[in-house]
Chain A
């Protein structure tokens, strides 16, 4: 399988800590990926209106670019990119009307895209192709004593048929965290929406939502929360500032991309973790555990 990599916009800016750690961990696992040439923004949200086909052009064009470059599979890291790419591909394949319309929208392209590029999330790849046993066998620095709650949010698991784990009780990230030597903490809010893009126009609502999620994780004993979506990461991490304005004694909680935990355990250099990009600094926790 020749694997293309689709980074998406946020990973090139605010989410550098996500991208750099993912690429380093892939290298440590011996997986080669190549960034899709001339990729564009996926549009972030899949259009839910049946008559809105134009918004599928952006995600489909990325799959077309991948196909043009000779790839039959794409791996993504961001939960929203994963969802949008995979759903647009499914929509194109289930309706010939949508497919024909998309071909006409993109008639300047050299090829027509008819499906055939499989979309994977990195976590899915770890579970199904790389295997957790392989990951565990390559751990150089076990994350011993670190208690991590995995927060999946919405788009890794929903809708049915697109998500790659149980709708109500996903476990893949917990299993990964365990194979890195950390303690996986189960908590009831793992698929409860953080408020997503409401953060722009209703930040106070998202702060309340993030506060509830983090409190639930802390109550189960978590010291950090792992995520796979840059928007969840922003909401859970940066909104803690707003939570503390409402509740000054709210104890902060570091928010980490699952790839940062991987990079740390697999022995990537500390600079790749880009711990400077966090609102709540994870370094005191890592130092306390003797991990950095």
Chain B
């Protein structure tokens, strides 16, 4: 993937917003890649968890707001417990989802799930999915 970096993007309020919502200091990351090595969802991701952090450091807002990776993350927290710098990567993923959801850009539309499928799901599946993927 070709990306362009600039001072303007790095200083964009987007970086601050991600840090505030996630409660994480993005610059602590030294890109060891351990989060991506252990992530069970990487096969579904277009950018890897360590790249999500790098992109966030650089303020690559459009790339992050349009990526598939944050929706492939199931907040299993494997990355969080393995990060040698103590960064909560799952919280950063959540922050990016939240920035979209707070603009009512839902990832899941319940009406698109067929009724007979909906009936099959236990409450726990539906509630957690809507909590994570809808506004």
Contacts and interface: CB of A to CB of B under 8 A. Distances in A.
Contacts of B90: 48
Interface stretch (A154-162, A245-253, A258-266): A154-162
B76 interface: yes
Contact of A45 (B21, B41, B75, B88): B75
A50 interface: yes
B78 A231 contact: no
A78 B21 contact: no
A70 to B, nearest CB: 28
Interface residues of B, number: 37
B74 A159 contact: no
Contact of B113 (A158, A191, A197, A200): A200
A1 interface: no
B22 A50 contact: yes
Interface in A185-202: 191-193, 195-202
A13 interface: yes
B76 A231 contact: no
| Majority-rule SS of B interface residues | helix
Contact of A10 (B81, B123, B133): B123
Contacts of B131: 43-45, 55
A15 B122 contact: yes
Interface string A167-211: 100000000000000000000000111011111111001000100
B74 A50 contact: no
Given A159-B80, A234-B122, A48 B91 contact: yes
B127 interface: yes
A31 interface: no
A9 B121 contact: no
A238 B98 CA distance: 30
Interface of B: 20-23, 40-41, 44, 72, 74-78, 80-81, 88, 90-91, 94-95, 98, 107-108, 113, 120-129, 131-133
